[in-house]
Amino acid sequence: MTTATQTAAGSANSGSLLLTLMKLRTFIALFAVIIFFSIFAPNFLSTANMILMSKHATQNAFLAIGMTFVIITGGIDLSVGSIVGLCGMIAGGLIIYGIDLPIGYTVYFNILEVAVIVAVVGVLIGAVNGLLITRLNVAPFIATLGTLYVARGAALLYSDGQTLPNLVGREDLGNQGFSYFGSGTIIGLPVSVWMLVIVALGAAYFARFVPLGRHIFAVGGNERAARMSGIRVSRVKMFVYMFSGFCAALVGLIVSSELMASHPATGTNLELNAIAAAVLGGTSMSGGRGTIGGTIVGAFVIGILSDGLVMMGVSSFWQMVIKGLVIIIAVVVDQAQRKMQARVTLMQMAKQG
Amino acid sequence: MTEIDDGDVILELKDITKAYSGIVALKKANLKLRRGAVNVLVGENGAGKSTMMRIIAGVEQPTIGEIWMEGERIHLSSPADAVRHGIGIVFQELNLFGNMTVAENIFATREITRGVLGIDHKAQVEKANAFLDRLESGISAETLTEDLPIGQQQLVEIARAVSLNTRILIMDEPTSALSAAEVDVLFRVIAELKAQGVAIVYISHRLEELMRIGDYITVLKDGQITGHALVKDIDTRWIVRSMIGSDAKDFAKEVDHELGGEVIRLDNITLPRSQGGYAVDHVSLSVRKGEILGIYGLMGAGRSELFECIMGRHEHDTGKVFIDGQELLERDTTGRIERGIALIPEDRQREGLVQCLSIAENLSLASLGQFLRFGFHIITGKEKQAVADAIRSLSIKARNPDFEVTSMSGGNQQKVVIGKALMTGPKVLLMDEPSRGIDVGAKADVFRTMRRLASEGLAILFSTSDLEEVMALSDRIAVMSNGRLVMVIDRNQATEEAIVKASAEGHTTKRMHA
């Protein structure tokens, strides 16, 4: 993960070894789970398993990237899981039924057009979140909780709760090949992983080298100061929710492509995984802090942890307990690091005079 | 340091050293607090005043050293300990619960209860009102605290400290948010407490205040006591000398330059108040290139609101702003900054800085647009160069621009906010109380910078409630009172009496047009 070097670069200034270790905690956790499972879980290190796990982790990672930006602005997006479900249903519906035009024709789209339409739907739902939050001043938690229910309900209404099966498309309509997003490979790696690489690199670049990306941190750090500095705060917030919706739409596309079926309950509770991954990666819930690299490592830690425990045959009840403990420990270490960091800064100040 | 008669000592700090991991905030400091006297403590930011007070209030424990109270050695291991010993403190940052009433705040943690019936609100309100009346505050104990203006909240804080029956009362910059009338009341209360034998510790940056109210003065510099005297024996010069080691009271007015043409003109700026009346009442004025206009006024005179109107922060203001003769049609802050106006806000922490970003990121925050390639890519090299230039030209003490901005002292943080504004390339600079919360040395530095910027052709409007400052720095002086512009006068024609008189005028006479 080239994007994760950001986290490491900051530590060059501090002399403290312990502090450096703490800063790298997400990496250490990642290596720890990999080493642990390669010893205790059979076949853990096989290529097939690695690819399978990265596919699983990819879904969380996409959502977590969008979530990271939202959390950095000081908000939260609870609706991503439902957007995954709704977007999956729309993808399935477009392939099976197309769109009925009032003049008696039905339009079908090829899979690339389907992907674009689904992405646009995700962005639009994100825009609704953004508008509720910026124009109508609804608290992010409530606004996205509302869209969580609306989007889930819409997904269920779309097919009356039924699964849309067998999304192979028809040759005469030219909409075959939907399985590409979920099952296709490029140079041995799944297409979805390549998509993640592109989105992650793009997001990391964006956070560092694009003014709007820098503004995201400023808005989360101190909204009033950001506004006084001429930053259009509403625009920044609109962007992060729209981007989060976009990421969720991609996941909806990938999941239904992988299963070749759309189920309206897809993505339930995924928003919690995304929040967990972001927090594990060092994103501060109070806003202003976080890195894309850290979030992706966090998403992989959670993904590997759950897959590895399954392979070891640990019961799913214990899996939940372990996952919860890992998140709590991560946050506790994060707080300890903050405190130490503050002390190191004090020492540097003292030396400065 | 000459030996002086120490009077009736109630509390003594002996050879107190306080080290935080790596820094020594206090070095073998000795302090004696006398009963029935105002013990003044002064020093620049970071000199160790707060550390010393936190030790007395039991918030921190000394690394080495002893605390003696009335001939007995005591240990203050928690704030509750200190309260038991009769030590009360009014912190500079307000520590009130905004969502509770004034009475509930005053009796927080020691509520008056009636057994199982719970809190006796009526008794609390009655007692609280008695304390508030003693302060002549005009505050009802049943008001919600957040509905009070800052100055009155400060009075509530003081009422709480007084209500504790304290024998030692520490006040850390209690007047920083008070109006002149409120300061007078506070001083009367202090005199009363003094007569009752309470030892007052008074910390302030306002030297004239210290001279007026203090009995004993102790000066701290870099964690050490550098001066200790009876206030009646010394003058402000002595204080400044002890604080920074030389007579540095210089506002650097030596630069003289020609003024250019008009840069900014305000026409009938008006901002209605939600409770009726006007926060800014039909203000019109203009400033020329290279000119410094000082706006003098008391708290609530409408200075900050006027600046906010100019920056497009309010939705309901009316009136026009012209830059170089062209009316500004942009209504939002972003647009106004693009047209060449920049504001240094009054509240540095809440509106000036993004605390979690680095010094460099704070500096370039408002001007990222200048470093772009293809309209979106920030060229980091160019940004770094500009940040380095800003740090050099403002002589900001930043060892590493990648450190968090909170690692700097107040004066340097203020310079970062100024630097951020300057990096947008403004024609007009608005500075709201630019010297608030920074020490004497940093103040002189900021003022020198203002003069230099003016000589480089910037039009500067700054607001202040410090008479000396407005007289020394301005080319022209405007006085605001109750939202109105009551007087605009050239500095060489202005007298302090006239300005003070004008600053109270808004409450009595009809407005004039400047």
Q: Tens digit of pLDDT for each residue in B86-127?
A: 888 887 667 788 888 888 888 887 788 887 888 888 888 888
Tell whether A225 lies on the interface with B, counting CB pairs under 8 A: yes
- Cα angle value A163/A168/A172 (rounded, 5°): 130
Please indicate, yes or no, if residue B218 is contained in any of the structural domains: yes
Q: φ, ψ for residue B239 (rounded to 5)?
A: -60, -50
CA distance B397 to A151: 53
Alpha helices in B197-313 (DSSP H): 207-213, 236-244, 303-310
* Whether residues B433 and B305 fall in one domain: yes
Lowest mean pLDDT across A154-158, A178-182, B333-337: A178-182
Backbone angle region of A76, left / alpha / beta, with phi > 0 → left and psi within -120 to 50 → alpha: beta
- Whether residue A295 is predicted with pLDDT greater than 90 in this model: the reply is yes
Contact at CB, B356 and A230, closer than 8 angstroms = no
Quote the CA–CA distance of B505 and B510 in Å, as a whole number: 9
Contact between B189 and B174 under an 8 Å Cβ cutoff? The reply is no
Q: Is residue B399 part of a domain?
A: yes
Q: Where are the alpha helices (H) located in B369-476, listed in sequence order?
A: 380-393, 410-422, 440-455, 467-473
Q: Which of B180, B212, B244 is the last residue of a domain?
A: B244
Nearest CA-CA partner of A223 in B345, B338, B351, B405: B351
Q: How many domains does chain B have?
A: 3
- Banded model confidence at residue B20, pLDDT cuts 50, 70, 90: low
Residues facing B8 on adjacent strands: none
Residues of B in contact with A210 (CB under 8 A): 376-378
The helix-helix angle for B236-244 and B440-455 (nearest 10°) equals 90
Gap between the terminal Cα atoms of chain A: 39
**Which uninterrupted H or E stretch holds B486?**
strand B484-490
Residue B1 lies in a domain: no
Q: How far apart are CA B391 and CA A342, in angstroms?
A: 23
Same domain as B304, residue B209: no
Q: Are strands B216-221 and B224-230 parallel, antiparallel or unpaired?
A: antiparallel
B401 and B436 in one domain?
no
Q: Which pLDDT score is estimated for B248? A: 45
Distance, in Å, from the CA atom of B451 to the CA atom of B411, rounded to the nearest integer, reads: 17
> Which chain B residues have a beta carbon less than 8 Å from that of A220?
356
Dihedral (Cα; B341, B347, B353, B359), 10-degree rounding: 90
Q: Are strands B428-432 and B377-378 parallel, antiparallel or unpaired?
A: unpaired
For chain A, what is the mean pLDDT? 86
Rounded Cα distance, B198 and A255, in Å:
73
B227 CB neighbour count, 10 Å cutoff? 19
Any domain includes B347:
no
* Cβ contacts of A87 within 8 Å, gap of 6 or more: A118, A121, A122, A248, A249, A251, A252, A253
What is the distance of C-alpha A307 from the center of its chain? 18
Which residue is it, tokens 């948010």? B177
- Determine which of B96-105, B246-255, B374-383, B435-444 has the lowest per-residue pLDDT on average: B246-255
The residue among B210, B244, B278 that closes a domain is B244
Distance (Å) of CA B371 to CA A226, A281, B362, B385 = 18, 30, 15, 10
Q: Tell whether B506 and B479 lie within a shared domain.
A: yes
Tokens of B496: 């302090």
Q: How far, CA to CA in Å, does B495 sit from each of B140, B451, B470, B477? A: 39, 21, 11, 10
Q: What is the pLDDT of residue A126?
A: 96
Contact at 8 Å (CB) between B36 and B198? yes
* Cα first-last separation, chain B: 52
Q: Which three-class secondary structure string do you get for A168-210? A: CCCHHHCCCCCCHHHHCEECCEEHHHHHHHHHHHHHHHHHHHC
Residue B204: give the domain boundaries: 9-244
Q: Rounded mean pLDDT of chain B? A: 82
Do residue B224 and residue B366 come from a single domain? no
**Preferred mutation among B60, B357, B374, B406 to probe A, highest tally of A CBs within 10 A:** B357
Task: Give the dihedral of Cα atoms B188, B189, B195, B198; nearest 10 deg.
Answer: -140
> Any idea what DSSP says for residue B197?
T
Q: Are residues B82 and B122 part of one domain?
A: yes
Band of residue A14 on the pLDDT scale cut at 50, 70, 90: very low
Amino acid at B436: R
> Measured between alpha carbons, how far is residue A234 from residues A120, B327, B343 in Å?
20, 26, 20
Query: What's the confidence (pLDDT) of residue B64?
Result: 82
B306 and B335 share a domain? Answer: yes
Maximum distance among all Cα pairs of chain B, rounded to whole angstroms: 76
pLDDT digits (tens, 9 = 90+) for B46-62: 677 878 888 888 888 88
* Contact residues, chain B to chain A, C-beta under 8 Å: 20-24, 311, 313, 332-334, 336-338, 343, 345, 350-357, 361, 365-366, 368-369, 372, 376-378, 380, 397, 399-400, 402-404, 406-407, 420, 424
Count CB-CB contacts under 10 A for residue B409.
17
∠ Cα B138 B140 B141 (to 5°): 130
User: Between residues A7 and A305, which one has the greater pLDDT?
Assistant: A305
Contact A228 B21 (CB under 8 A): no
Does residue B408 share a domain with residue B307?
no
Contacts of B420 in chain A (CB under 8 A): 229
Give the SS3 label for residue B454: helix
Report pLDDT for A2. Answer: 40
CATH number at residue B493: 3.40.50.300
Contact assessment for residue B40 and residue B242, using Cβ atoms and an 8 Å cutoff: no
Question: Can you tell me the ipTM of this complex?
Answer: 0.80
CB contact under 8 A, A289 and B356: yes
Q: What percent of chain A has pLDDT over 70?
A: 93
Asked if A88 and A252 count as a contact pair (C-beta separation under 8 A), the reply is yes
Q: Out of B250-264, B434-448, B465-479, give the one with best mean pLDDT.
A: B465-479
Query: Model pTM?
Result: 0.76
The secondary element (H helix, E strand) that includes residue B258 is none
Of A238-252, B147-161, B314-328, B406-420, which one has max mean pLDDT? Answer: A238-252
| Mutation for B interface: A73, A208, A229, A348, most B CBs within 10 A | A229
Per-residue model confidence (pLDDT) at position A44: 84
Last residue of a domain, one of B244, B274, B290: B244
**Token pair listed for A153:** 């309900």
For the domain made up of A2-7+30-35+45-345, the CATH class stated in words is mainly alpha
Q: Is A320 on the interface with B (CB under 8 A)?
A: no
Domain ranges of chain A: 2-7+30-35+45-345
Which of the residue ranges A349-353, B145-149, B333-337 has the most confident prediction, judged by mean pLDDT?
Answer: B333-337
Q: How far is Cα B317 from Cα A50, in angstroms, rounded to an integer?
A: 62
**SS3 (DSSP) at B144:** strand
How far are the Cα atoms of A51, B120, B283, B421 from residue B264, in angstroms, in the given order?
64, 58, 13, 17
Tokens representing B506? Answer: 């808004």
Confidence of residue B462 (pLDDT cuts 50, 70, 90): very high
Cα distance between residue B216 and residue B210, in whole Å? 10
Helix axes A211-221, A191-209, angle to 10 degrees: 70
Task: Look at residue B7 in the predicted model and tell me its pLDDT.
Answer: 67
In this structure, are B406 and B270 located in the same domain? Answer: no
Strands A185-186 and A189-190: antiparallel
Give the pLDDT score at B467: 76
At B350, the amino acid letter reads R
Q: Which of B475, B473, B407 is nearest to B443 (CA)?
A: B473
Residue of B nearest to A287 (CA): B356
Residues forming beta bridges with residue B88, ordered by sequence position: B169
- Give per-residue pLDDT as tens, B479-494: 888 888 888 888 888 8
Count of beta carbons in the 10 Å neighbourhood of residue B154? 25
Q: Return the H-helix or E-strand segment holding B503.
A: helix B496-503
Residues B28, B123, single domain; the answer is yes
Does B157 lie in the same domain as B42? yes
**Confidence check: pLDDT of A187 > 50:** yes
Coil, strand or helix at A8: helix
For CA atoms B305, B306, B309, B310, the dihedral sign is negative
- At A8 the pLDDT is 38
B346's tokens: 């009054």
Rounded Cα gap, residues B49 and B226, in angstroms? 12
Q: How far apart are CA A289 and CA A72, in angstroms?
A: 6
Does some domain include residue B179? yes
CB-based contacts of B149, cutoff 8 Å, min separation 6: B299, B300
Q: Same domain, yes or no, for B73 and B192?
A: yes
Is B365 close to A218, i.e. CB distance below 8 A?
Answer: yes
CB A7 within 8 A of CB A291: yes
Mutate to test the interface with A, among B311, B354, B382, B407 (most CBs of A within 10 A): B354
